[in-house]
Amino acid sequence: MEGLSIIFLLLMMAHFSLASFMLHSIPSNVNFAYVFIGNLSSHALAVYVITGSMFLSLLEFFVHGLINILKVKGIVSVHVQQLLYILCKVVWCIIIASWVGLI
């Protein structure tokens, strides 16, 4: 169980150190798609490096993108956005726990 705690902490540290807030202050002369894909890719890469799972990395890429879209469209607030990111990390840890037989 301690291993899962470490994985969760690493996922959270990676998430917040990758500066998700950058999507909220994109200069008008920068192509949003490049920044968007770059943001998703950096978070997915962090999940892959920490977990070693391409499956979880792809989940991170697509779910993180969906959450970003919800925020950009004004459907969720920045606080809900961050909560959803944290919940994703909890789900990734639950998936890992099920893979190693902890649950």
Domain ranges of the chain: 2-99
The pLDDT, as a whole number, for residue 38 is: 87
Encoded tokens for 79: 């606080």
Average pLDDT, the chain: 89
Residue range 13-18: mean pLDDT, rounded: 84
DSSP H or E stretch at residue 90 = helix 78-99
The pLDDT, as a whole number, for residue 2 is: 85
pTM of the model: 0.87
Rounded Cα–Cα distance for residues 20 and 15 (Å): 7
Exposed/middle/buried for residue 24 (C-beta within 10 Å: 0-12, 13-18, 19+): exposed
pLDDT tens readout for residues 23-59? 556 667 778 788 889 889 999 999 999 999 999 999 9
Residue range 77-89: mean pLDDT, rounded: 95
The percentage of the chain sitting over the pLDDT mark of 70, rounded to a whole number, equals 90
Q: Is the pLDDT of residue 20 over 60?
A: no
Rounded Cα–Cα distance for residues 26 and 79 (Å): 19
Give yes or no for a contact between 44 and 60, defined as CB atoms under 8 angstroms apart.
yes
